[in-house]
Amino acid sequence: MKKFIPLSIIVLLFMSNFSHAQDWANLNRYQQENTQLKTPNLDENRVVFIGNSITEAWRNYHPEFFERKYYVNRGISGQTTPQMLLRFRQDVIALKPKVVVILAGTNDIAENTGPTTLEMIIDNIISMTEIAKSNNIKVIISSVLPAYDYPWKTGLKPNEKIPKLNKLLKEYANKNRIVYIDYFTSMTNKKNGFKKEYTYDGVHPNKKGYLKMEPLVEKAIKKTLLQK
């Protein structure tokens, strides 16, 4: 005997999937938090961190890093650079920071939203940078963290692609007088994978990894704030 699913349930499932598809960039993720965030004072050096799960989880592993400063975490797990670009105005520009820290690209290489090229990744990061600059927000570009392979999608050779992407990011940053953070060099092993002491899965940092990253980004923020 065949079981029939009630039409009402089918409609609800369809609407749920349709709604999710319409918010491809996950604009709803920080909508309420953005509304609650007050306009910064003139002497407040607000910094927005935009990125993927590496940025989002930072607040979980070491919340004090964000709580005691004017740092705003706007990372969303799984995101690629086109998704970040779509929500950049809402989650960065509208918050009126003095500085934005961009850490992105590994999920593009992992093809989370489909096949891509290094040039496409660079283009999206350049677009975010240009939007920020046009709104008088200074930019910090971060190197992509090392990964030998992705557990959820193997065989894409991130250990070869990430160093190439980082080279392009550094060249663009240097050419345009943008501060570049090199996380990669101090956190990678001889195979261009993540050093075991800094990661729990070969892709994401553990607490020790974040503690390794923090002085690097703080140095970059200080340098960027002094730029004219």
CATH architecture, domain defined by 45-226: 3-Layer(aba) Sandwich (3.40)
Determine the straight-line distance between the first and last CA of the chain, rounded to whole angstroms. 75
Residue 214's pLDDT is 98
**pLDDT score recorded for residue 191:** 97
pLDDT for the residue numbered 228? 81
Average pLDDT taken over every residue of the chain: 92
Give the domain ranges of the chain. 45-226
- Give pLDDT tens digits for 50-97: 999 999 999 999 999 998 789 999 999 999 999 999 999 999 999 999
Q: Quick one: which of 152, 74, 84, 140 has its CA closest to 112?
A: 152
| Rama region for 111: left / alpha / beta (φ>0; ψ in -120 to 50; rest) | left
pLDDT tens profile 150-172: 999 999 999 999 999 999 999 99
